[in-house]
Structure 1
Amino acid sequence: MPDIVDVQVDELLREAEQRLRGASAPARPMPPVPVKDSAPAAEPPATVSKKQLAVRKPQAQPPREDTKKDTTGPNWFNLPKTDLTPDFKRDWQLLRMRGLLDPKHQKKALRSAPPEYSRVGQVIGGPADFYSARLTRKERKQTIFEEVMGAHDSDKLKGKYAGIQCNKTSGKKAFYQRLVSQRRKRQN
């Protein structure tokens, strides 16, 4: 099978481009396809011009912009992308499980993945705030986790756990043994 020379490929591509533009391609005879001999041809055929030998360079494409933006845009005050540090992940997990810390207050569940765009800040009390509404220095904490654990009453959970265990064991073997031991105490 005869091989196609680079010059012929260029010519075919030019004709295809002209057809796509709507102009008809000039009817030029194609240069003959050389048959492969034992020695490759070092020079192109004499009928090929220097213009046809010019190397085709691809058109420069404009650089692609990243599909992911770094900010939300001016309508959302250019909120930056969330920086997923270990502290932020821990705080997000704590916010998601805040219903477990205080079962009396029902809160809407947060999604498992942190928001794509967010910023963590610190609330600073102004001098116009009422004095009793401000936190003292001892009450101020560095992270959300420290603040929640500082305000959290662990005795409340222990009492709740003990109550659940007491209800679970009532009517079972342990309940019956305790009842029998109380009867023996009364008889003595």
Structure 2
Amino acid sequence: MPDIVDGQVDKLLREAEQRLRGSSAPAPARSMPLVRVEVTALSVESSATVYKEQQLSVRKPQAQPTQKDTKNDTAGPNWFNLPKTDLTPDFKRDWQLLRMRGLLDPKHQKKALRSAPPEYSRVGQVIGGPADFYSARLTRKERKQTILEEVMGTLDSNKLKGKYAGIQRNKMSGKKAFYQRLVSQRRKRQN
């Protein structure tokens, strides 16, 4: 039996299909591949090879949800859907100022804040209600645009200078310069 090329087999099979259908017109070339199926009869020991046309379908992969879809951008309903923190330069500066607030007023001890900003937060402006006392409200001159301006406006720099001077005085006590100043002050009192 002569060797038959795959292309010739396809052509022969198409012609056979046409004859079975009863049409004499040549069938158009199909892009569907033919699949070889081996059929074995139980009663007959010989196996026959039958070609069947099988439509192959390409399965599209399911769209993978993006990270943004899987992870919520809110803290959830128990936290009133608090949005994720928007890390703008203004927010970063204000967060750093809040973390270092203990340096601005050494007399008031504040609990230290963590270095990283909160994952979920919202920045807003406190508006005084009509039920607030008039004396508790800020005047227009006292209102500032940023937290930094507000803190610097209320900061008493004399407090810091006085604290620094007190520390330096304690450090200088017991040294030669301190003793000489003390002796000179005693002499002035005697005269």
Residue type of the partner of 2:165? A
Distance change >3 Å, CA 47–CA 187, structure 1 → 2: farther
Distance change >3 Å, CA 108–CA 183, structure 1 → 2: closer
Give how far 1:97 is off.
1.5
Residue type of the partner of 2:62? Q
Residue type of the partner of 2:122? R
- In structure 2, the gaps of 5 or more residues are 1-37, 40-48
Give how far 1:88 is off.
0.8
Match of 1:129 among 124, 129, 132: 132
Give how far 1:139 is off.
0.7
Aligned position for 2:173: 170
Aligned position for 1:64: 65
Distance change >3 Å, CA 130–CA 182, structure 1 → 2: closer
Aligned position for 2:27: none
Residue type of the partner of 1:156? K
Indicate yes or no: 2:86 matched with 1:86: no
Give how far 1:183 is off.
6.2
Match of 1:156 among 154, 159, 164: 159
| CA distance, structure 2, for counterparts of residue 75 and residue 107 of structure 1 | 28
Question: Aligned residue pairs: how many?
Answer: 144
Match of 2:113 among 107, 110, 115: 110
TM-score where L is the length of structure 2: 0.63
Structure (1 or 2) with the larger CA radius of gyration: 2
| CA distance, structure 2, for counterparts of residue 130 and residue 146 of structure 1 | 24
Residue type of the partner of 1:57? V
Residue type of the partner of 2:64? P
Give the alignment's Cα RMSD to 1 decimal.
Answer: 3.0
Residues 105 and 160 in structure 2, CA contact (< 8 A), matched pair in contact too: no
**Structure 1 SS opposite 2:78:** helix
| CA distance, structure 2, for counterparts of residue 166 and residue 175 of structure 1 | 9
TM-score where L is the length of structure 1: 0.64
Give how far 1:103 is off.
2.5
Q: Which range moved further: 100-109 or 89-98? A: 100-109
Aligned position for 2:20: none
| CA distance, structure 1, for counterparts of residue 169 and residue 183 of structure 2 | 17
Give the structure, 1 or 2, with the largest relative contact order (CA under 8 Å, sep 6 or more): 1
Structure 1 or 2: larger strand share? 2
- In structure 1, the gaps of 5 or more residues are 1-27, 30-45
Question: CA offsets per residue over residues 44-89 of structure 1, 9 Å max, x none?
Answer: xx9876549x4x6344224324243222223322211111111111
**Structure 2 SS opposite 1:70:** coil
Indicate the percent of aligned positions where both proteins have the same amino acid: 81
Distance change >3 Å, CA 48–CA 145, structure 1 → 2: farther
Give how far 1:161 is off.
0.3
Residue type of the partner of 2:82? L
Distance change >3 Å, CA 158–CA 167, structure 1 → 2: same
